[in-house]
Amino acid sequence: MTVSQKALPVLDLTSFDAEPSQRGAFLRELCEAAQGPGFFYLVGHGISADLISDVLAASRQFFDLPERDKFSIEMINSPHFRGYTRAGLEFTRGLPDWREQLDIGAERDALPWDRTAPPWIRLQGPNQWPAALPGLRPTLLRYQAEATALAIKVLRAFAAALEQPDNVFEPIYAPSPNQLLKIIRYPGRDAGDSDQGVGAHKDSGFVTILLQDKVGGLQVETADGWIDAPPRPGSFVVNIGEILELASNGALRANVHRVVSPPAGVDRLSVAFFLGARLDATVPLLDLPPEIAARSRGVTEDPLNPLFHEVGRNYLKGRLRSHPDVARRHHADLLDPSSTQSEPASAY
């Protein structure tokens, strides 16, 4: 498919706190970005350049560790889907993604799971950290905290763009939003290799805040075809997740995106932060003013990716499907034995 040369818009978050006319202009730009590509670059975000370079440096140090150190914290050890995943072990739409990654969630104790507990309770639990790199934990947890505060501010801006009170989503994320921080390395591809860094997908949360190093590869699907989202110094790429699509009945759309692997001899680092609602929450359908409701496109119907308003159920569905090895080892009771796919059984 051809890739269009169109660029994503750039939004300045400081305008959200500015006087009413500047704030109004910002909210209009946000609506346009949401109606169009569903993705934009964010500047004026308030996260320091020092923290950003520390996170990228710590990520590079992690991926440079010997295999035995990374393998000692593999995700297969964790029923909570935390830890390291080798390239090729994560799947998007049934095909392997050529990226290695470390998944860090909210640092919380595991909850007891028994037959009466909802299955998503299994998602809560500790992270796995590499003993060989003690500096990684404080750097990533600090970044996770700052990215959470930033994502909540972006969420408040989306609420305002929908002409809702800024805090309309607070009841479904406070006091313990679902957080997922992923540090990712995309290896270069040799001739004949698949170019699927990560296959075409939507993100499941409220919003995603993406930090990229200097190597491109992210592409966004739009009405005009795929658009490149090359790195832009000092900015994050922000995109809409499925919770906002559900809550707005498609007035905001979670857009499809993918990463094309870098060429041979080059690798790419990215750090994705996904802000989600509380796992025990149910996504409400917002009462939108008529002129916004008129723009609603409804929620995308995709038989391969049914969307549930129950947050924990939706999130668990995605984790089981993306990490079939973890699903088989720890959650075989949730898988449908008649299916070769790692889909959750429809019963729960």
Ligand X SMILES: O=C(O)CCC(=O)C(=O)O
Residue 142: CB atoms within 10 A of its CB come to 13
User: Going by C-beta distance under 8 Å and a sequence separation of 6 or more, which residues neighbour residue 343?
Assistant: 317, 320, 321, 335, 336
322, amino acid identity: S
| Residue 245, SS3 per DSSP | helix
Nearest to 113 by CA among 80, 90, 74, 138: 80
Quick check: 210 binds ligand X (CB under 6 A)? yes
Please state the φ and ψ torsions of residue 138, each to the nearest 5 degrees.
-60, -35
In the list 45, 156, 182, 330, the residue contacting ligand X (rule: CB under 6 A) is: 182
103 near Fe ion, judged by CB under 5 A: no
In the bound state, the residue with its beta carbon closest to ligand X is: 270
Q: Measure CA 307 to chain center.
A: 16
| Interface with ligand X, residue 203, by CB under 6 A | yes
Fill in the per-residue mask, 179 to 208: x = in contact with Fe ion (CB under 5 A), - = not in contact: ------------------------x-----
Binding to ligand X by residue 31, rule CB under 6 A?
no
Shortest CB 255 distance to Fe ion, Å? 10
Q: Which tokens hold the place of 332?
A: 């075989």
Q: Is 279 in the site for ligand X (CB under 6 A)?
A: no
Q: How far is the CB of 191 from Fe ion (least distance, A)?
A: 27
Nearer to Fe ion, 100 or 203 (CB): 203
Is 218 near ligand X (CB under 6 A)? yes
Contact call for residues 92 and 72 (beta carbons, < 8 A): no
Q: Which of 30, 272, 277, 334 binds ligand X (CB under 6 A)?
A: 272
118 vs 157: CA distance, rounded Å: 32
DSSP state letters, 305-348: S---SBHHHHHHHHHHHH-HHHHHHH-GGGB-TT-SS-PBPTT-
Relative to beta strand 3-4, strand 225-228 is parallel
Structure tokens at 264: 């041979």
Q: Out of 161, 184, 227, 320, point to the residue binding ligand X (CB under 6 A).
A: 184
Member of 85, 148, 270, 342 binding ligand X (CB under 6 A): 270
CA distance 322 to 103: 12
Binding mask 61-90 for ligand X (x = CB under 6 A): ------------------------------
The span of 155-163, 210-218, 241-249, 305-313 binding ligand X (CB under 6 A) equals: 210-218
Tokens 């809560």 locate to 124
Does 52 interact with ligand X (rule: CB under 6 A)?
Answer: no
- Comparing CB distances to Fe ion, the nearer of 16 and 41 is 41
How many residues touch ligand X under the rule CB under 6 A: the total is 11
Task: Please identify, using beta-carbon distances, which residue of 162 and 272 lies nearer to ligand X.
Answer: 272
Torsion on CA atoms 4, 303, 249, 179, rounded to nearest 10: -80
Residue 210's binding partner, choosing from Fe ion, ligand X, none, with beta-carbon cut-off 5 to 8 A by kind? ligand X
Least spacing, CB of residue 111 vs ligand X, in Å: 26
Query: How far apart are alpha carbons 44 and 204 in whole angstroms?
Result: 25
Distance CA(4)–CA(116), nearest Å, equals: 51
Residue 210 or 246 with smaller CB distance to ligand X: 210
- Closest-by-Cβ residue to Fe ion is 203
Q: Which of 42, 56, 183, 198 binds ligand X (CB under 6 A)?
A: 198
For Fe ion, the binding residues (CB under 5 A) are 203
For ligand X, the binding residues (CB under 6 A) are 182, 184, 198, 203, 210, 212, 218, 257, 259, 270, 272
